C-alpha cells in the first residue's frame, strides 16, 4: 500500500466512512428508524436573517459572529442582507455551514477583548470567493479550496456572496494538530491533499444527520487524522519551525498552571521562570488567550464551576472563590457569569454534573449560539 504524502491514511478513513454506512437516508421514508434512534441523532442549530427588517438583518448577523470577528456591511443600501447558519456541536470540534451576502471582516486580537475566542478555522468554500490580508501575506480562495485562519491573530478580508463550511479547531485538540495548523495558518491549501480534506469535510457535513452522540469520539479522531495527513506547512511560511516549539512551551505552561492552580503566588512571572523564557516570548505565547493572567483566571473559574456542581462540596461560595484567588465576592460573581452565563448561586442551585456548561443551546437566542459553542470549545 502506497503511503507517500499521507495517501494511505486518507484512503483508510474514506473506506471507514463507507463501511460504517453513514449516508443520510430519508427518515420519513424509513420505517426501520425508531423514534428513540431519531432522538439520539446529533442536533443542529439554525439561524437566519430572513424575516427581519433590513436594518436589523446585518445587525443580527454581526452579533452572531461578534465573539470572533468584526463584520462590516459593504452595501447597506441593498434591499436585504441574507445570512444563514447551521451549527453542529461535535464535542471537541464545531462545524458551521454558512451562507452569506458580501461583507468585510477583521479579526479581534485577544488583547482588545475581555473574553477572547481563539481557535483555528478551516474554511471550505462551496461557492463564492474570500480574500484575506494577514501580517505576512495576502491570499484568496475559491470553491473547493481550504483556507486556514487563526482567530487570535490580526487579519482583515472580504467575502463575496458565498456558501461555505467552517470547521473550528481548538488549540487544545492535540499537540500534533496545533503544530500542523500553526505552521500552515494564513494560507490556502491548494494541493491535492488539501482538496482531499475539502472532499472529506463536505462528506462529513452530508452524513451528520445520521450520526449520534456516541459517534463523536470516532469522528473527532478521524478528523484529526485527516488534518495531520492533508495539511502541510505553507511554502511561504518562513517560521514553520516556530509552531512545534511554541506548542511544546504552551503545553508545559498549561501543565504548570494546572498543577499550581490554587497557589496564591501563581502568576505570569512564576510561569515565565518555569519555562525559562523572556517576558516578550511569554506574552506572545498567551496573547491569543488574552494574556497569562486571563488564562489563569479562566482555569480557576472552571475549577470553581466544578466545585459548585460537586454534591459533596458544600462549602460556602465565598470560600470556594477565596481558594481560587478571588477576595472580592462581587468580582468573582461578575467574572463567573461572564464565563458561564449563570451566577455561582444559580449553578449551585440547579446543578450541572460537574461539567462546565453555558446556557442551553435550545434556550439561548439563535444569533448567540455560535459564540456559545466557540467559548465552550475554548474550555
Q: What is the pLDDT of residues 364-374, one digit of tens each?
A: 778 888 887 77
Average pLDDT estimate for 288-311: 86
- In angstroms, the first-to-last Cα distance of the chain is 40
pLDDT of residue 73: 94
* pTM score: 0.63
Task: Report the pLDDT value the prediction gives residue 360, as an integer from 0 to 100.
Answer: 60
Provide the pLDDT for residue 371: 80
Q: Among candidates 273, 266, 299, which has minimal Cα distance to 379? A: 299
- Contact by Cβ (8 Å): 140, 188: yes
Task: Annotate 47-73 with b (16+ C-beta within 10 A) or e (fewer).
Answer: bbbeebeeeebbbbbbbbbbbbbebeb
Instruction: Identify the pLDDT of residue 22.
Output: 38
Q: Are 307 and 354 a contacting pair, CB within 8 Å?
A: no
Q: How far apart are CA 6 and CA 197, in angstroms?
A: 12
Burial, 278: exposed, middle or buried (Cβ in 10 Å; 0-12, 13-18, 19+)?
A: exposed
Mean pLDDT of 262-288: 87
113 in helix, strand or coil? coil
pLDDT of 243 strictly over 80: no
Classify 276 as helix, strand or coil. Answer: coil
- Identify the CA nearest to 223 among candidates 2, 17, 42, 8: 17
Average pLDDT over residues 323-342: 86
Please state the rounded mean pLDDT for residues 89-112. 85
Domains of the chain from N-terminus onward: 4-233 (2.60.120.10), 242-369 (1.10.10.60)
Confidence band of 35 (pLDDT split at 50, 70, 90): very low
**Structure confidence at residue 199 as a pLDDT band (50, 70, 90):** confident
75/132 Cα distance (integer angstroms): 19
Which residue did the predictor score with more confidence, 222 or 349? 222
Lowest-confidence range among 49-58, 286-295, 341-350, 361-370? 361-370
In this predicted structure, what is the pLDDT of residue 109?
A: 62
Give the residue, 248 or 323, on which the prediction is more confident. 323
Rg (CA), the chain: 22
Mean pLDDT of the 174-180 span: 82
Residue 208 has pLDDT above 50, yes or no: yes
Tell me the range of 36-40, 142-146, 348-352 where mean pLDDT is highest: 142-146
Side by side, which strands form the sheet with 130-134? 69-73, 103-107, 155-159, 130-134, 138-141
pLDDT, tens digit, 9 for 90 and up, residues 215-224: 888 898 889 8
- Edge-first strand order for the sheet with 94-100 is 44-48, 83-89, 94-100, 162-170, 119-127, 146-150, 187-189
197 membership: H or E segment, kind and range: helix 192-207
CA–CA separation, 43 vs 89, rounded Å?
Answer: 8
For residues 228 and 235, what is the distance between their CA atoms, to the nearest angstrom?
A: 17
**Element spanning 125, H or E:** strand 119-127
Would you place residue 356 in the very low, low, confident or very high pLDDT band (cuts 50, 70, 90)?
very low
Average pLDDT on 103-129 reads 79
* Averaged pLDDT, 153-172: 93
**Strand 94-100 and strand 69-73: pairing?**
unpaired
Amino acid at each position: 500500500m502506497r503511503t507517500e504524502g499521507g495517501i494511505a491514511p486518507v484512503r483508510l478513513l474514506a473506506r471507514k466512512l463507507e463501511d460504517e454506512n453513514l449516508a443520510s437516508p430519508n427518515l420519513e421514508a424509513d420505517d426501520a428508524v425508531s423514534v428513540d434512534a431519531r432522538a439520539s441523532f446529533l442536533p443542529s442549530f439554525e439561524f437566519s436573517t430572513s424575516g427581519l427588517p433590513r436594518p436589523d438583518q446585518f445587525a443580527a448577523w454581526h452579533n452572531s459572529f461578534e465573539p470572533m470577528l468584526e463584520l462590516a456591511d459593504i452595501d447597506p443600501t441593498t434591499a436585504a442582507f441574507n445570512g444563514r447558519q447551521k451549527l453542529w456541536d461535535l464535542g471537541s470540534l464545531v462545524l458551521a455551514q454558512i451562507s452569506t451576502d458580501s461583507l468585510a471582516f477583521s479579526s479581534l486580537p485577544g488583547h482588545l477583548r475581555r473574553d477572547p475566542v481563539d481557535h483555528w478555522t478551516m474554511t471550505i468554500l462551496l461557492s463564492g470567493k474570500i480574500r484575506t490580508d494577514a501580517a505576512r501575506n495576502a491570499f484568496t480562495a475559491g470553491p473547493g479550496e481550504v483556507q486556514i485562519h487563526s482567530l487570535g491573530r490580526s487579519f482583515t478580508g472580504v467575502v463575496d456572496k458565498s456558501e461555505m463550511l467552517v470547521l473550528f479547531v481548538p488549540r487544545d485538540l492535540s499537540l500534533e494538530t496545533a503544530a500542523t495548523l500553526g505552521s500552515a495558518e494564513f494560507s490556502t491549501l491548494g494541493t491535492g491533499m488539501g482538496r482531499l480534506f475539502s472532499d472529506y469535510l463536505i462528506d462529513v457535513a452530508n452524513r451528520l444527520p445520521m450520526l449520534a452522540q456516541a459517534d463523536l469520539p470516532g469522528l473527532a479522531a478521524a478528523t484529526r487524522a485527516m488534518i495531520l495527513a492533508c495539511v502541510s506547512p505553507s511554502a511561504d511560511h518562513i517560521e514553520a519551525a516556530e509552531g512545534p516549539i511554541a506548542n511544546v512551551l504552551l503545553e508545559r505552561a498549561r501543565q504548570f498552571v494546572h498543577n499550581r492552580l490554587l497557589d496564591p503566588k501563581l502568576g505570569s512571572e512564576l510561569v515565565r521562570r518555569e519555562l525559562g523564557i523572556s517576558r516578550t516570548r511569554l506574552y506572545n505565547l498567551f496573547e491569543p488567550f488574552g494574556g497569562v493572567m486571563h488564562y489563569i483566571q479562566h482555569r480557576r473559574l472552571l475549577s470553581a464551576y466544578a466545585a459548585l456542581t460537586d454534591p459533596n462540596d458544600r462549602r460556602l461560595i465565598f470560600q470556594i472563590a477565596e481558594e481560587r484567588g478571588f477576595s472580592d465576592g462581587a468580582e468573582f460573581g461578575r467574572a463567573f457569569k461572564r464565563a458561564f452565563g449563570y451566577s455561582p448561586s444559580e449553578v449551585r442551585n440547579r446543578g450541572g454534573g460537574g461539567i462546565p456548561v453555558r446556557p442551553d443551546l435550545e434556550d439561548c437566542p439563535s444569533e448567540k449560539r455560535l459564540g456559545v459553542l466557540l467559548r465552550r470549545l475554548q474550555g
